[in-house]
Amino acid sequence: MTTQEIKSRYFQGARRKETWSGIPVKTVYTPEDIKDIDYARSIGNPGEYPYRRGIYTDMYRGRLWSQRQITGCPTPKLTNERLRYLLSTGESAINIIGDQPTQIGIDSDHPWAEGSVGRVGVCVDTMDDMRQILDGIPLDQVSTMLTLVTPIALPSYMVLAAEQGIPPSELRATSPMVPPVLGAPVCMYGGREWWFDMARRQMKEFIDKLEYMTKKYPKIYVANYNAYNIRETGVGAAEEVAWIFANAFEGLKLITERGVDIDVVAPKVSITFSVMIDILEEAAKFRAARAIWARTLKEKFGAKDPRSLRLKYHVNTAGIIMERQQATINVIRAAYAALAAVFGGTQSLQVAGYDEPIAIPTEEAATLAVRTQQILANETGVATVADPLAGSYYVESLTQQLEEKIQKIIDTIEEKGGMAAAIHSGYIDREMEAAWFKYQREVEAKERIVVGVNEFTIPEEQDADVAVYLGKVDFDLVQRHIENLKEFKRTRDQAKVKKALEALLHATENDEPDICDYEKECCKAGCTTGEVGGVKRMGIGLPYDPLGILEYPFA
């Protein structure tokens, strides 16, 4: 490093003059920037319409956000051990994610699944896998998020709770109920586009299930829309909110057209958002999102129940901000993103492990992530006052700009015929790809500094090795899981399995409303993820196997 380089860095100012999403930022903000914002109409007090400042009056003084680390180790047994460990560290809720085969609805012994089983989450093939994952966890005491996107996860969870004698009214969970078109039609971009063809038929099933769950399982959020994966494609804060809201509003429109009261279903809708490292933009994003949700539910859908107007959401710190180079500094990135989520008023939070770009988090990385949340909650002071950023000229101005931009994008999608039409037309794909290319160009041109990647780098040989969980796992365990699955399929009561699958097929073909009951019977009979998903595909006129390799085994 030269003397001139040292001198130039000493006098260097902020290089970027816009938010992460590209919104221009002035040097100074004054009362002039918020003169047209009416406090009562546009902002309001915490716990009051339009909920820009938070959905509860006392916010975190009354109750902290749920601290739930996303967990999915290669096998059900390892996942159970990690879940129980995290609960012992003080985590207040759990969040389970499946591996790639589980998420696309195939079994671990599927030819395509080779090499993918257990790589990015837990393999869930049968209800016995769910039983092992949840072993020793009191389901009536622990809020459970099923980020599994498998047709057997939620019905298995309900059956296991019944086996424990837990009343349905005592279960607290969140689940994308119909994967994934209805949970979030764009959230699986890049890997599961074939599911888009199911949209209309699945919407009917989704509505039926929503009514069913609302009546029988009142504490389960059965319509969880995933905006996180949208943001991972590189789009901005406004697109993340607008696209997922357009999707949710389209679903609510179809539900209300069937005569269902909006105040019956809307309180059961939740969103999973991403949170980036631009602290003030992200806080403003969440504030804007709450206001748009409240206004739309009230003015467009006629909702009257305050529970319908309060946007409920979970936040994952963004994977896109985590880097492989100098991976330990990801601890800092995740902490700043978590701070943004809390400033924004989240109800639930997952902080990524610093080694996420490399592998499934080690126990050490997962512990640091939990401790990050605990320090935020107990040492920083951010939980002591509701919406501490309120009144900032910059934050209020930025919130207003985002609110207007989000609404404009929603209006554009509606003009295109809704979210499903926007996806099928290629509009969403084009916007995602353009955003990602723009981001990559900015990084390569150093217009966007990423520490350790394009600035403040070190030679690769000096980059400290990160302990990788993937390397410590005995993958013979994964192979053993696959062999056990094959043996399970061979020795189960085949007649019972066939009967349950054929009943589910008939119910799907005929749009029977209580499809959940048929799914639960399949789980009890020993049907697998691939079989249940395959039969449901057949029921709406699609091939049994999403990858076109396997045939229905009970023909």
Q: Say if 546 falls within a structural domain.
A: no
Residues 247 and 368 in one domain: yes
What's the average model confidence in pLDDT over 249-271? Answer: 89
Residues 242 and 372 in one domain: yes
Tokens in use for 125?
Answer: 């093939």
Q: Say if 291 falls within a structural domain.
A: yes
Q: Which of 146, 148, 143 is nearest to 92 (CA)?
A: 143
Exposure class string for 364-403: b at 16+ Cβ within 10 A, else e = ebbbbbbebbbebbeeeeebeebbbbbebebbbbbbbbbb
Q: Is the confidence at residue 190, as pLDDT, over 90?
A: no
Tokens in use for 119?
Answer: 């790589």
Q: Of the ranges 203-217, 380-394, 446-460, 517-531, which one carries the lowest mean pLDDT score?
A: 203-217
pLDDT > 70: percent of the chain:
93
Residues 181 and 276 in one domain: yes
Which has the higher per-residue pLDDT, 372 or 422?
372
Bond from prior residue into 267 cis (ω within 30 degrees of 0): no
Residues 45 and 193 in one domain: yes
3-state SS of 221-245 is: ECEEEECHHHHCCCCCHHHHHHHHH
Whole-number Cα distances in Å, 463 to 324, 335, 357, 363 = 10, 21, 15, 21
Radius of gyration of the chain (CA): 24
Name the domain boundary from 415, 432, 457: 457
Q: Is the confidence at residue 483, as pLDDT, over 80?
A: yes
Q: Say if 394 falls within a structural domain.
A: yes
Q: Which of 318, 229, 331, 233 is nearest to 282 (CA)?
A: 318
Q: Which residues pair with 174 in a beta bridge?
A: 145, 221
Angle (nearest 5°) at CA 246 between 304 and 97:
100
Helix (H, G, I), strand (E, B) or coil at 322: coil
Residues 261 and 326 in one domain: yes
Q: Say if 230 falls within a structural domain.
A: yes
Identity of residue 237: A
Residues 453 and 483 in one domain: no
Q: Is the confidence at residue 194, as pLDDT, over 60?
A: no
The range of the structural domain enclosing residue 516 comes to: 474-539
Residues 298 and 414 in one domain: yes
Residues 224 and 319 in one domain: yes
What's the average model confidence in pLDDT over 189-201? Answer: 45
List of residues 6+ apart from 348 with CB closer than 8 A: 65, 66, 68, 93, 145, 313, 314, 315
HSE-CB of 63 using CA atoms within 13 angstroms: 11
Residues 382 and 523 in one domain: no
What's the average model confidence in pLDDT over 218-226? Answer: 88
Q: Is the confidence at residue 523, as pLDDT, over 80?
A: yes
Amino acid 189: pLDDT: 39
Q: Is the confidence at residue 60, as pLDDT, over 90?
A: yes
CB atoms within 10 A of CB 165: 7
Q: Say if 17 falls within a structural domain.
A: no
Can you tell me the distance from the alpha carbon of 396 to that of 287, in angstroms, rounded to the nearest whole number? 9
What pLDDT, in 10s, does the model give residues 423-473?
Answer: 888 899 999 999 999 999 999 999 999 999 999 999 988 887 666 655 455
Can you tell me the distance from the alpha carbon of 63 to that of 503, in angstroms, rounded to the nearest whole number? 44
Name the domain boundary from 396, 427, 457: 457
In 212-347 the beta strands, taken as DSSP E runs, fall at 220-221, 223-226, 269-275, 313-317
Q: Say if 479 falls within a structural domain.
A: yes
CB atoms within 10 A of CB 267: 19
Report yes or no: 124 and 102 within 8 Å, Cβ to Cβ: yes
Residues 373 and 398 in one domain: yes
Tally of domains in the chain: 2
Q: Is the confidence at residue 179, as pLDDT, over 70?
A: no
Confidence of residue 195 (pLDDT cuts 50, 70, 90): very low
Residues 350 and 482 in one domain: no
Residues 437 and 484 in one domain: no
Please tell me what DSSP assigns to residue 39: I
* Burial degree of 459 (CB within 10 A; 0-12, 13-18, 19+): exposed
Q: From the centroid of its chain, how far is CA 426?
A: 23
Q: Which of 49, 194, 530 is nearest to 185 (CA)?
A: 194
What's the average model confidence in pLDDT over 166-183? Answer: 72
Can you tell me the distance from the alpha carbon of 103 to that of 112, in angstroms, rounded to the nearest whole number? 13
Q: Say if 97 falls within a structural domain.
A: no
Q: Which of 204, 192, 208 is nearest to 149 (CA)?
A: 192
Amino acid 80: pLDDT: 98
List of residues 6+ apart from 442 with CB closer than 8 A: 448
Q: Say if 264 falls within a structural domain.
A: yes
pLDDT > 90: percent of the chain:
76
Q: From the centroid of its chain, how far is CA 186?
A: 12
Indicate which CATH number applies to the domain containing 55.
3.20.20.240
What pLDDT, in 10s, does the model give residues 384-430?
Answer: 999 999 999 999 999 999 999 999 999 999 999 988 888 888 899 99
Name the domain boundary from 405, 432, 457: 457
Q: Is the confidence at residue 267, as pLDDT, over 60?
A: yes
